[in-house]
Amino acid sequence: MSKFGNVFVTGGTGLLGSELVKQLLDSGEARRIVCLVRDHLPQSRFYTESFAEKVIVVRGDIRDQALLERSLNEYEINTVFHLAAQTLVGQANRQPTETLDVNIRGTWALLEACRRNETVGPVVIASSDKAYGNLNGESYDESYPLQGDHPYDVSKSCTDLISQSYAKSYGMNVCVTRCGNFFGPGDLNESRLFPSVVLSVLRGESPIIRSDGKFIRDYIYVADGAAAYRHLAEKMLDGKFNGEAFNFSYGLRLTVIDVTEKILSRMQSELKPQILNQAKNEIPVQCLNSEKAKSLLDWKPLFGFEEGVDKTIQWYSKQVEAGLL
């Protein structure tokens, strides 16, 4: 049953985007899937698992409003998942204007294209737990203010507020997701913790931790994240949640060292991490309260952290064995 009608996904080649496209294909919830793709990433699951052959690919930049308007109209889009963004904190620190431009202008360009379209219904916008900024160790719920300090955090605070503005000003069926750190199959960026540690162990090298290892984060397995997006979009079909934001995560408080040791343990490795203590402009403690999603949306994760860790290790192991990584 194609409950979502024709679906438009931005950022479909990314970690979350590839998994979301997979789940939409597997579930049959979309009549047709259209993906906006800027760069060809041959190692992305979007290509290696042949998702690209089963969807319509539109080449272009999320900031190209004319392209967005044409795509939404031409393919008679009913449901939108906006995941496209510059997601790397380190890159945001090095090139702040590019991150701010992509994440902020890309969001309002898409929302404006949706506003001008008569067939678009639910629009799910990816914000982040970083949008809350540094709240001194509190467990964030959706009532907390958005007060990012550093370039990436600020870009997500703005994305979030712009999305809520369009919902409230124009009555659009827009909701915002704020998720913990995604991990899982398809993460190709070795500057992030999971691919860095898992691939280091598979290569027989000591994992390198660029921070002091004490930063605390909340995590969510990418398949749980993609399922949460689909679940939210389904709940949005009756238009009850316009302008609402929802946290999705496990409510964990794990240090970088905790996660590294968990991965080493599951991989039965005796390697010791090398701690560089070079991270800058990072929030010391982040943890999400997802009770709103559980109570209003009846959401619950399908996998959880430990099962997600095992599945992630299995995926990277297969990729290395096949010579793909």
Residues labelled catalytic: 152
Nearby residues of 55 by Cβ (< 8 Å), 6 or more positions away: 12, 21, 25, 32, 33, 34, 35
CB atoms under 10 Å from CB of 33, counted, come to 24
End-to-end CA distance of the chain: 37
Measured between alpha carbons, how far is 283 from 296 in angstroms, rounded to an integer? 29
The alpha carbon dihedral of 307, 309, 310, 312 has a sign of positive
- Coil vs helix vs strand at 36: strand
- Rounded to 10 deg, the angle between the 222-235 and 305-321 helix axes is 120
Residue (of 12, 11, 29, 25) closest to 54 by Cα position: 25
What are the structure tokens assigned to 190, written together?
Answer: 């070795």
- Rounded to 10 deg, the angle between the 15-27 and 222-235 helix axes is 60
Measured between alpha carbons, how far is 245 from 275 in angstroms, rounded to an integer? 36
